[in-house]
Structure 1
Amino acid sequence: MVETKPEQTGASITYSRMNPFQARVIENFNLNKAGSNKETRHIVLSLAGSGLSYEAGDCLGIVPKNDPKLVATIIEEMDWDGESVVTINKQGELLSLKEALTSYFEITLLNKKIVQQAAELTDNEEIMNLVLIENVQMLKEYMDGRDFLDLLRDFGPWKASAQELVSLLRKMPPRLYSIASSLTANPDEVHLTIGAVRYTAHGRERNGVCSVLCSERLNIGDTLPVFVQKNKHFNLPESADTDIIMVGPGTGIAPFRAFIQERAAQNASGRSWLFFGDRHAATDFLYQDDFGTYQEEGALTKLDTAFSRDSDHKVYVQHKISENSKELFQWLENGAYFYVCGDKQYMAKDVHNTLIEVIAKEGNMSTEQAEAYLNDLQKQKRYQRDVY
């Protein structure tokens, strides 16, 4: 990786997105139990000596490295010399081809610009047809689930050098994860909850760059380049007396573990209600022991769970919200904040629509009035979402 010198401020060093801190791995284990078809890593990193601080609700950025097997396959496929030197940016910085593909470039995603520019480096008629303006939908379908290796394999022979081809690529963007710990409760530490992404597309097995690095190649004592990303739109109420309702299925649980830890450390008097969901209670109840302890100690007032594959009909968090509609509306009327974290495509929409139904039913309102009520909660920052 290109070395960046941390900014010196007096005697201290400021770590940031541009100058990430090398955080040492203290713990890394699978939260899912044997028999689960999911893998969710609980990772504890040391921030000792970094000067970094965070609040519950913030994110941690990780600058990952690509899978060495994928890098080796690209080099072998193109018959390139991995030790040859390439220029990686406009500043003229140099790296070996292997290191550039491992640490600097994004190689697992394609975009329109990459494919369009690649079309100029080959006589392949298929790619020339793909980048025509009228075939924009076809191009979109091609890029979905494909990567740099697919591009190189599909549209050769290439009349371009390794330098010209890697120059098509963009710099590796950092991956952001909701922090799963309270700094008050865990000084000098940051905890993460990362689901390993693995799937098959177009005849090849694919891996999430950062999630599978954390699951397969990150050992205790290793370091990860990290920085704190503030999240001003997702945080606890100013008053510890205020009630909070949290909806976080799957890895969406992460910030709420941080919220509850923070509330426990504060001895907060405000009540807390957590909705958690996943596939099977026996194997996928993330942080079950933690939340059991928080319930016993009073830091977690109510816990409702939805395990979608444990019954004949699928039960999700929105169903549990509906079941508790009367009490939930009372909490909202009493000033509670409502939080949602996790899947944007389905879960967050379903929870949003269910919330409108609950408000309409229990508040004796029309759908339009319930939507206005929810919009008002949002303006008061009492309805906050961190969805992806």
Structure 2
Amino acid sequence: MSLHEAPPISAPLIPDNAPFSQEQRAWLNGFIAGLIAPDIAAAQGAPASPPAQAEDEITWHDPSLPLAERMKLAEDKPLPLKLMAAMAQQDCGQCGYDCQKYAAAIASGEEKRLNLCAPGEKPTARMVKSLVEGAGGEAAPAAAAAPAALPKSSKPLGYARENPVMARFLSRARLNKEDSEKSTYHIEFDLSESGLDYTVGDSFGVFPANDPELVDQILAAIRAPADFPIGEGTLREALIHDLALHSAPDALFELISYIVGGERRKLARSLAKGEDPEGDASTLDVLAALQKFPGIHPDPEAFVESLEPLQPRLYSISSSPKVDPHRLSLTVDHVRYLIKDRVRRGVASSWLGERIQPGASFKAYIQRAHNFALPSSGETPIIMVGPGTGVAPFRAFLHERCETKATGGAWLFFGHQRRAADFFYEEELTGFLANGALTKLSLAWSRDGETKTYVQDKMREEALSLWEWLEKGAHFYICGDAKRMAADVERAMMDIVAEAKGIDQKAAQAFVAELKKAGRYQADVY
């Protein structure tokens, strides 16, 4: 249908016999109408209607708000927007969608997997399941006895989690000095045989493996043979490569409730409902859950069915293909923490930081950036805020701008705990300052003095200069933690705008929202 044949905006765009509820159909009609209205108006020679209030100005999907508060703010909204509130619209890309498309796919019934929102973890998965069931939908089971193949994707091979290719691990090098409290690695990969290409701002998806030592402890806890057949492999192989072990799912507690009795059954049923009667539910991974109910001996196939699939992990790419199109790098924190005398390790970060060996091949894919890219002109100045591993995409930006001889200014805010131990890429950044690829470097160290200093504090210290850069058309970027750092940085930005323009906080918030709509305020948060 041509633009001249398009229906009037008031006409319904989703037919009555489409497989949607009335609520879903109404929302989709409005959403599609909003997308095509400007094009139809332009084709008919009429000026486009002024846009409705931008979604970025609405706080119901603010990731800094607790889940309960977001859901309260979204209680009168249609199902897709309620789902977005549950996800907090972080647009991390981990699910293979952005949040709006993932919510729409769930609401329409096209997407059955309800647990793909990685930042929200189990609370978000429970809320999504509850919203779908409340709307009359049926929640899909977590996993099958034989781990099912990922659904086919229309995206090209290597550019979706459903269509991975093989890449090769090259090397890892620790970025922290020996006296650091952290272990962060610069990790390099070879793409030469993968057929992959990427752009700065993109992310790299890796399919990790679980720690074999952890798997052996789980097998001992359930007293199951490692070679028990599961699908085309063994139970041990499935636990290493196919199943998530970091957080005990509700279905596991449901299974346990059928095995135990008395007070232990009551406890298992409470945990399956998301309750926390003993105050430790958030610390229960699969092994800890089994240790909480010692002596159980579940059927191996039933045990596998109660677990969720092991998800790929996304990392911001820290290299530029203009330096070497066949080499890609990541900047990865090795996650480790102690709970009840047992060291817990991040699944992918431990696999990358400890176990995978140089030359090993693994499944991977490129996740194209969603609204996170360098300006089209190298003359446009950029301001980058990336503490810790948040510096990753900005290292890529600087390498790219160095190769393209970009003339616009580049200002980086970087921070960590201690300058002497945690100054990632210090020599490179100093070199970028020397050759002009980096114009200004502002550093924040939270453990070097009596007062903790963070990147948002440095922004406030440099408020006048930062505002001058914005007035010159600078694009502003954030990468890092969504719940704390990114929210604190946005508040600092609004304070700077309010002071510079002599306006109140509401007007400053609207100004920042306009920067986002114009593509001049971009975030890569997780």
Normalising by structure 2, report the TM-score. 0.68
Spell out, residue by residue over 1:279-332, the C-alpha distance to the aligned partner (whole angstroms, 9 max, x if none).
111110001111111111111111000011111111110111001100101111
**What residue in structure 2 maps to residue 170 of structure 1?**
308
Q: CA–CA distance in 2 between the matches of 1:174 and 1:122?
A: 33
CA contact (8 A) 1:247 1:276 kept: yes
**What residue in structure 1 maps to residue 208 of structure 2?**
64
Tell me the secondary structure at the aligned position of residue 225 of structure 1.
Answer: strand
**What residue in structure 2 maps to residue 95 of structure 1?**
233
CA contact (8 A) 2:337 2:343 kept: yes
Q: CA–CA distance in 2 between the matches of 1:46 and 1:159?
A: 44
Q: CA–CA distance in 1 between the matches of 2:417 and 2:250?
A: 36
**What residue in structure 2 maps to residue 122 of structure 1?**
260
Larger relative contact order (CA 8 Å, sep ≥ 6) = 1
CA contact (8 A) 1:197 1:211 kept: yes
Partner amino acid, structure 1, of 2:449: S
Change (3 A) 1:74 1:134: closer
**What residue in structure 2 maps to residue 22 of structure 1?**
166
Q: CA–CA distance in 2 between the matches of 1:183 and 1:141?
A: 48
**What residue in structure 1 maps to residue 386 of structure 2?**
248
**What residue in structure 1 maps to residue 180 of structure 2?**
36
Matches within 5 A, 1:1-388: 14-15=157-158, 16-86=160-230, 93-123=231-261, 125-132=263-270, 136-138=274-276, 141-158=279-296, 160-388=298-526
Tell me the secondary structure at the aligned position of residue 283 of structure 2.
Answer: coil
Tell me the secondary structure at the aligned position of residue 345 of structure 1.
Answer: helix
Shift of the alpha carbon at 1:385? 1.2
Spell out, residue by residue over 1:95-154, the C-alpha distance to the aligned partner (whole angstroms, 9 max, x if none).
201101111111111233432343234336334345349974416954312211112221
Q: Which shows bigger deviation, 225-234 or 317-326? A: 225-234
Q: CA–CA distance in 1 between the matches of 2:183 and 2:506?
A: 41
Task: Looking at secondary structure, tell me which structure has more helix per residue.
Answer: 2
CA contact (8 A) 2:444 2:455 kept: yes
Change (3 A) 1:132 1:186: same
Spell out, residue by residue over 1:66-88, the C-alpha distance to the aligned partner (whole angstroms, 9 max, x if none).
001101111122221101212xx
Shift of the alpha carbon at 1:2? 8.4
Shift of the alpha carbon at 1:364? 1.6
Structure 1 regions of 5+ residues with no counterpart? 87-92
Shift of the alpha carbon at 1:252? 0.5
CA contact (8 A) 2:250 2:273 kept: no
Q: CA–CA distance in 1 between the matches of 2:187 and 2:322?
A: 18
Q: CA–CA distance in 1 between the matches of 2:272 and 2:355?
A: 43
Q: CA–CA distance in 2 between the matches of 1:159 and 1:40?
A: 39
Shift of the alpha carbon at 1:159? 5.7
Tell me the number of residue pairs that the alignment of Structure 1 and Structure 2 aligns: 377
Q: CA–CA distance in 2 between the matches of 1:265 and 1:363?
A: 36
CA contact (8 A) 1:179 1:258 kept: yes
Shift of the alpha carbon at 1:346? 1.6
Tell me the secondary structure at the aligned position of residue 274 of structure 1.
Answer: strand
Change (3 A) 1:60 1:223: same
Change (3 A) 1:80 1:133: closer
Q: CA–CA distance in 2 between the matches of 1:159 and 1:102?
A: 20
Tell me the secondary structure at the aligned position of residue 276 of structure 2.
Answer: helix
Partner amino acid, structure 2, of 1:370: A
**What residue in structure 2 maps to residue 90 of structure 1?**
none
Tell me the secondary structure at the aligned position of residue 437 of structure 2.
Answer: coil
Tell me the secondary structure at the aligned position of residue 190 of structure 1.
Answer: strand
Partner amino acid, structure 2, of 1:343: D
Normalising by structure 1, report the TM-score. 0.91
Change (3 A) 1:135 1:4: closer
Tell me the secondary structure at the aligned position of residue 14 of structure 1.
Answer: coil
Change (3 A) 1:124 1:60: farther
Spell out, residue by residue over 1:190-235, the C-alpha distance to the aligned partner (whole angstroms, 9 max, x if none).
1000000000124421000110111111222222321101122211
Q: CA–CA distance in 2 between the matches of 1:168 and 1:242?
A: 52
Q: Which shows bigger deviation, 161-170 or 58-67? A: 161-170
**What residue in structure 2 maps to residue 89 of structure 1?**
none
Q: CA–CA distance in 2 between the matches of 1:228 and 1:255?
A: 14
Identity %: 36
**What residue in structure 1 maps to residue 34 of structure 2?**
none
